[in-house]
């Protein structure tokens, strides 16, 4: 971006619409091309044109609506109630024990906020701690930082899962909640939720399952015959769960669910304020003004796909996973480690710089995320169409990189998120 772009000012005269659209189209030339199936994690491409067309139409209908006061928009209120009820039915809690949020980080924030409220009200802990595996999403660290809560993390085992014994040893007098992932982002593995939840219940603690990634694929993954250990609110001791609608729910950004075992817990999330001249202000999540399109789009996505649609798309993800794993296995010098539970995994390149291999893949049009120990792959249904090409390009990329861990690379940092303007 040029210095002129960084110091842009409001134009004296408005720019004509056709000129603006032309400028936007030109600017987007360097943006991530997710439609080609060579992008991972940021967009979940169903490959279903009818589904995408529907979402565009729904977004257009609700473009200007504001869900700040849902009672002014009864259609939106009903959609939110339906989304919570559908999620509750899938994950095993009451139909009125949750909320729609703007994304996974917000759902996690809400769960941490509830843990703080519960700790103060029911546990007599003024300054609570949250205890999580090191693989837990950074949103927990962000939420704890914003809410002035201490986050304590423990290592995971070689299989990428947290050992309950490690959590047990780390529990202290201020511990309020334990965290497990289903599945975690770095490795795509499911923590032993039943054991973690039992530990939490035995100590009188809350237990949150971060299923932002797995929530809307694991129920159908299991129905296809894939092994899935107990992981949701049906597990005794699990007290809250987050599940993103804009991931494997195939809605557009940003929509997520946070669900609780009871409405008593949910009430810690609500905010009420009547000490101002404008009257009562109340919100069910930290957001005030909320855009309506993500809510309506998520409702439309679930209703349009139904169980049959989710099973079909989940089967596509499984086909993509099998194709990618076969290509990686056939390539000389790459492996998947640890073994994933779903179509999300880390590709390691023993003896070679994974950053350099990632650069070589980038040069061939791929957009693989870098992690601390490897390259990250997160598959959506459309990837089934490019699995063979991925394997061939990976083999060629490995051949381009010498067998030395410090091969030159243009990559400087393992990146998941980012800060604009840096």
Three-state DSSP at 8 gives coil
Domain boundary among 272, 302, 332: 302
Q: Is residue 45 part of a domain?
A: no
On the CB side of 206, CA atoms within 13 Å amount to: 31
DSSP 192-213: -HHHHHHHHHHHT-EEEEE-TT
What local confidence, expressed as pLDDT, does residue 1 receive?
41
Q: What is the C-alpha separation between 359 and 397, in angstroms, rounded?
A: 9
Same domain? For 248 and 378 the reply is: no
What local confidence, expressed as pLDDT, does residue 417 receive?
54
Count of domains for the chain: 2
Matching residue, tokens 């990632």: 358
DSSP 126-164: SS-EEEEETTS-HHHHHHHHHHT-EEEEE---TTSPPPH
Please give the mean pLDDT across all residues of the chain. 92
For the cut 90, the answer to whether the pLDDT of residue 414 exceeds it is no
pLDDT tens-digit profile of 13-56? 999 999 999 999 999 888 888 887 788 888 888 889 999 999 99
Domain boundary among 302, 332, 352: 302
Same domain? For 66 and 82 the reply is: yes
| 225 or 30: which leads in pLDDT | 225
What local confidence, expressed as pLDDT, does residue 405 receive?
57
Confidence of residue 415 (pLDDT cuts 50, 70, 90): low
For the cut 60, the answer to whether the pLDDT of residue 419 exceeds it is no
Percent of residues in the chain assigned helix, strand, coil, to nearest 5: 45, 15, 45
What local confidence, expressed as pLDDT, does residue 6 receive?
62
Same domain? For 101 and 114 the reply is: yes
What percent of the chain clears pLDDT 70, i.e. is strictly above it?
94
| Residue closest to 367 by CA, chosen among 1, 35, 49 | 35
Query: Hey, which residues does 33 pair with through a beta bridge?
Result: none
For the cut 80, the answer to whether the pLDDT of residue 318 exceeds it is yes
What local confidence, expressed as pLDDT, does residue 372 receive?
93
Same domain? For 289 and 386 the reply is: no
Same domain? For 311 and 298 the reply is: no
What local confidence, expressed as pLDDT, does residue 351 receive?
94
| 334 or 274: which leads in pLDDT | 334
Q: What is the C-alpha separation between 390 and 15, in angstroms, rounded?
A: 42
Contact 321, 384 (CB under 8 A): no
Query: Which residues form the domain of 329?
Result: 307-400
What local confidence, expressed as pLDDT, does residue 407 receive?
55
Same domain? For 244 and 360 the reply is: no
Q: Is residue 326 part of a domain?
A: yes
374 to 52, 162, 346, 357: CA distances (angstroms): 32, 20, 6, 10
244 to 248, 395, 396: CA distances (angstroms): 7, 34, 35
Same domain? For 337 and 216 the reply is: no
For the cut 70, the answer to whether the pLDDT of residue 97 exceeds it is yes
389: domain CATH number? Answer: 3.90.1150.10
Same domain? For 210 and 291 the reply is: yes
pLDDT tens-digit profile of 229-247? 999 999 999 999 999 999 9
Same domain? For 170 and 283 the reply is: yes
Confidence of residue 406 (pLDDT cuts 50, 70, 90): low
Q: Is residue 149 part of a domain?
A: yes
Q: Is residue 413 part of a domain?
A: no
Matching residue, tokens 């070689």: 158
Confidence of residue 141 (pLDDT cuts 50, 70, 90): very high
Q: What is the C-alpha separation between 374 and 334, in angstroms, rounded?
A: 10
Same domain? For 360 and 215 the reply is: no
Q: Is residue 21 part of a domain?
A: no
Q: Is residue 316 part of a domain?
A: yes
Confidence of residue 413 (pLDDT cuts 50, 70, 90): very low
Confidence of residue 282 (pLDDT cuts 50, 70, 90): confident
Same domain? For 365 and 228 the reply is: no
What local confidence, expressed as pLDDT, does residue 408 receive?
57
Domain boundary among 245, 272, 302: 302
- The arithmetic mean of pLDDT across residues 106-120, rounded, is 97
- The arithmetic mean of pLDDT across residues 155-172, rounded, is 97
For the cut 80, the answer to whether the pLDDT of residue 137 exceeds it is yes
Q: Is residue 42 part of a domain?
A: no
| Lowest mean pLDDT segment, chosen from 107-111, 201-205, 277-281, 369-373 | 277-281
Same domain? For 257 and 365 the reply is: no
Instruction: Determine whether 223 is exposed, middle or buried from the number of CB atoms within 10 Å of its CB (0-12, 13-18, 19+).
Output: middle
Q: Is residue 92 part of a domain?
A: yes
């Amino acid at each position: 971006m040029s210095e002129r772009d960084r110091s842009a000012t409001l134009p004296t005269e408005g720019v004509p619409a056709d000129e603006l659209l032309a400028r936007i189209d030109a600017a987007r030339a360097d943006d991530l091309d997710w439609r080609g199936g060579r992008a991972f994690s940021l967009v979940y491409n169903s490959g279903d044109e009818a589904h995408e067309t529907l979402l565009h139409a729904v977004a257009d209908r609700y473009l200007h609506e504001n869900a700040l006061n849902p009672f002014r928009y009864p259609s939106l209120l009903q959609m939110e109630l339906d989304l919570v009820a559908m999620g509750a039915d899938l994950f095993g809690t009451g139909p009125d024990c949750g909320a729609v949020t703007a994304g996974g980080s917000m759902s996690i924030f809400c769960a941490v906020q509830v843990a703080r409220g519960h700790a103060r009200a029911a546990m007599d802990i003024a300054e609570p701690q949250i205890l999580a595996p090191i693989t837990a999403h950074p949103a927990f660290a962000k939420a704890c930082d914003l809410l002035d809560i201490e986050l304590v993390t423990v290592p995971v085992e070689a299989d990428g899962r947290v050992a309950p014994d490690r959590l047990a040893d780390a529990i202290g007098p201020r511990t309020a909640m334990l965290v497990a992932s289903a599945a975690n982002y770095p490795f795509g593995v499911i923590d032993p939720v039943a054991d973690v939840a039992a530990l939490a219940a035995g100590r009188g603690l809350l237990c949150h399952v971060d299923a932002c990634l797995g929530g809307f694929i694991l129920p159908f993954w299991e129905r296809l015959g894939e092994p899935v250990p107990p992981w949701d609110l049906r597990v005794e001791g699990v007290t809250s769960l987050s599940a993103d609608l804009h991931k494997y729910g195939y809605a557009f950004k940003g929509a997520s669910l946070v669900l609780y075992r009871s409405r008593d817990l949910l009430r810690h999330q609500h905010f009420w304020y009547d000490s101002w001249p404008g009257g009562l202000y109340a919100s069910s999540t930290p957001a005030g003004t909320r855009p309506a399109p993500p809510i309506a789009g998520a409702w439309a996505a679930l209703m349009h796909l139904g169980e049959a649609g989710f099973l079909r798309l989940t089967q596509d993800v499984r086909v993509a996973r099998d194709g990618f794993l076969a290509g990686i296995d056939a390539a000389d010098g790459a492996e998947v480690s640890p073994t994933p539970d779903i179509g999300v995994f880390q590709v390691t390149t023993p003896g070679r710089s994974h950053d350099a291999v990632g650069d070589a893949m980038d040069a061939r049009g791929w957009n693989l995320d870098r992690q601390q120990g490897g390259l990250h792959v997160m598959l959506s249904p459309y990837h089934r169409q490019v699995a063979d090409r991925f394997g061939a390009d990976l083999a060629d990329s490995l051949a381009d990189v010498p067998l030395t861990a410090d091969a030159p690379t243009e990559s400087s940092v393992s990146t998941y998120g980012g800060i604009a303007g840096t």
